[in-house]
Amino acid sequence: MKNNKILTPERQIVLDTETTGMNQNGKNHYEGHKIIEIGAVEVINRRLTGNHFHVYINPERQVDPEAFAVHGISDEFLKDKPLFKTIADDFIAFIDGAELVIHNATFDVGFMDYEFRTAGIDFVTASHCLVTDTLAMARRIFPGKRNNLDVLCERYQIDNSHRTLHGALLDAEILAEVYLAMTGGQTILSFSHEENSTNHNVAQPLPLEKIQREQFNLKIIRASEIELEEHAKSLDKIDKKSGGSIWRK
């Protein structure tokens, strides 16, 4: 599939999947297992729009007991659900050209691309979407610590008490809040009553009034060469511990 869309990273899709299990011994964890649920929510200008994609999928195989214990999705529940190939076009239309925000993106994108290949669909996610891995982000921010979704909710004081089992749509909504907290700024997640799945009612920015400060004659003091060298050494230490400082971006 040729990518004719312009990537629009200001349109973010926070996404999660549930699967029949994972191959513990194989090279690729997704081979032999299938996606059974996809949940994705749209964020524009750091606000949930109300537009989302959610579907359960018949994997044409049994769910592993270990996976069922995590998400509670049974074989009986999935037997009348659509196959991946029948929902693939709608799914592609929803994510194509956007920035995908996923926790442990290698896992979900690996499954997605495996499903596309198995269905005979020429779509490679990373060629059509920007992919942001919040697990990799969390490991840079909190090196050496646990960084699963529940732990991040606790760190950022996000209420996930309603999350008794994993569910793709619920986890995507929680991850959206975690991601916005991780990236700073206010997180405006409530929907307006007028918003629906086809209309993005995003709040418009207020006009800014420029304040004239000509009366202030401020003296600019530049850093000396020695000070710049010491600053660079400090950034080197930060980079070594954190994997990259924001001051060098």
Task: Please tell me which of 22-36, 93-107, 153-167 the model is most confident about, judged by mean pLDDT.
Answer: 93-107
Average pLDDT over residues 85-104: 97
33 vs 115: CA distance, rounded Å: 10
pLDDT tier at 232, thresholds 50, 70, 90: confident
Task: Specify the higher pLDDT residue, 141 or 208.
Answer: 141
User: Which of 166, 193, 200, 231 is flagged as catalytic?
Assistant: 166
pLDDT of residue 112 exceeding 90, the answer is yes
Residue 200 catalytic? no
**Can you point out the beta strands (E) in 130-198?**
130-133
pLDDT tier at 249, thresholds 50, 70, 90: low
pLDDT of residue 84 exceeding 90, the answer is yes
What pLDDT, on a 0 to 100 scale, did the predictor assign at position 76? 96
pLDDT of residue 190 exceeding 60, the answer is no
**Can you point out the beta strands (E) in 61-174?**
99-102, 130-133
207, two tokens: 């006009």
pLDDT of residue 171 exceeding 60, the answer is yes
- The secondary element (H helix, E strand) that includes residue 91 is helix 84-95
What pLDDT, on a 0 to 100 scale, did the predictor assign at position 25? 53
pTM confidence score: 0.71
pLDDT tens track for 143-165: 999 999 999 999 999 988 876 66
Task: Specify the higher pLDDT residue, 60 or 218.
Answer: 60
Place of tokens 């990373």: 126
What pLDDT, on a 0 to 100 scale, did the predictor assign at position 9? 59
pLDDT tier at 221, thresholds 50, 70, 90: confident
| Mean pLDDT over the full length of the chain | 82
What pLDDT, on a 0 to 100 scale, did the predictor assign at position 234? 77
pLDDT tier at 172, thresholds 50, 70, 90: very high
